[in-house]
Amino acid sequence: MDALPQTPGLGLARSAGALAGLRVIDLTRVLGGPYCTMVLSDHGAEVIKLEPPQGDEVRDWGPPFDADGTASYFLNINRNKKSVGLDLSKPEGKQVLLRLLEGADVLIENFKPGSMEKWGLGYHEVLSKKFPRLVHCRVSGFGATGPLGGFPGYDAVLQAMTGLMSINGTETSGPTRLGTPIVDIATGLFSTIAILMALQERERSGQGQYCDMTLHDCGMALLHPHAPNYFLNGKRPKATGNPHPNLVPYSKFRTKTCEIFVAAGNDPAFRKFCEFLGIPEVAKDERFATNGGRVTNREALTEVLEARFATEDGHDLCRRMLAAGLPAGPVLHVDEAMQADHTAHREMVTELGTYRGLGTPIKLSRTPGGTRGVPPRFAEHTEEVLGKNGFSAEELKALKASGVLVETRKK
């Protein structure tokens, strides 16, 4: 079990974590898989990141880069992990992996479906028999079977193919990619859930299992409420911009000082909203008295509210609305959100030495997680990890000489 950070910082782990004692072998790269293993490592799991000779390519996805030349993209999703450079294309590399799996609870990888099987490391044929308690999670674009089985997948491509782009943006802009890689992140989160479910079930059965996680399925799972709207009315959902397709007012408005977003979730909330704004007659107008009416008469209500908000200081108005129990907030830029007082209070910016990243949103009372170590340099922990797993100094020397263990990234 790793020691807690001794250097002062923010958003640091203050306990061994809810997953202390869990060992994860991480063969993933880019975002979905590494996001999953960061969540696990934030809460105490030992994550051994086995990087290919070229390293995880997102080490190069910059600028910006840190002083060591590592991109911000890598830094924010790989803290707390231990890096080993390993060439799995060599038979000896596969033997190293198998030895590491002897003490592991979870294997997660995002190779092209069929790769592990081709290497003689398939779950059903080999790993489940050799390591019956192992939970094997595969993250892929579309899965191994079906019309698109085995094809590669990237976040934006899946945003396009699952319909997410079609309901983002406006009628003028056309389908628009979400500004955050939502499919990759969601796949990482769903994969975390799948792994924890499998581990929970293992407590009863004593058996591991295979988690088949795809960007396609996880992207589809994000289509609420647009897919259920289509299921019910048969109409193709369209991009509405900021307004909600089922709820009004639930949108962005201009004020004297900034843009704000307000949300009235039901008819009583709308009446309270109008009372607060000093326009109670609006809630009594038959066009706006019910949510169905407000959706139908969206444009007319928007004109009324835009006129009401035009003279307000948006920041002050939102604070007063929140204090009155009315959901509202200023539209902040990323730098403003990072510097907000509540962000600091919730420790959603974590710092350890020169490292800064987004903190864990999972707040546990007895076993709080957080940052334990800075993101690793490539192959930084090779000797430490393998030494703890029974590899002798002579074996390490031979594996390095043969190129199975890689100490410097191959470009």
In sequence order, what DSSP letters do the residues of 168-214 get, joined into one string? SS-TTT-S---SS-HHHHHHHHHHHHHHHHHHHHHHHHS---EEEEE
Count of CB atoms within 10 A of residue 163's CB?
A: 19
Q: Which residues does residue 405 pair with via DSSP β-bridges, in sequence order?
A: 86
Count of CB atoms within 10 A of residue 57's CB?
A: 14
- Tracing tokens 């880069």 back to the chain, one arrives at 65
Count of CB atoms within 10 A of residue 157's CB?
A: 18
CA–CA distance, 129 with 122 (Å, rounded to integer): 10
Work out the angle at residue 133's Cα, subtended by the Cα atoms of residues 405 and 103, and round it to the nearest 5 degrees: 35
In sequence order, what DSSP letters do the residues of 238-264 get, joined into one string? ---SSS-SS-SSEEEEE-SSSEEEEE-
Q: What tokens does 76 get? A: 């924010």
**Catalytic pick from 26, 87, 105, 184?**
184
CA–CA distance, 3 with 14 (Å, rounded to integer): 10
Q: Quick one: how far is CA 322 from the chain centroid?
A: 28
Q: Are 127 and 101 in contact (CB under 8 A)?
A: yes
Furthest-apart CA pair in the chain: how many Å?
84
Q: What 3-state class would DSSP assign to 31? A: coil
Tell me whether residue 217 is one of the annotated catalytic residues: no
Q: Taking the CA atoms of 98, 187, 30 and 387 in sequence, report the sign of the dihedral they define.
A: negative
CA–CA distance, 58 with 209 (Å, rounded to integer): 29
Taking alpha carbons only, the member of 346, 372, 373 closest to residue 361 is: 346
Q: Which residues does residue 65 pair with via DSSP β-bridges, in sequence order?
A: 71
Query: Hey, which residues are catalytic here?
Result: 184
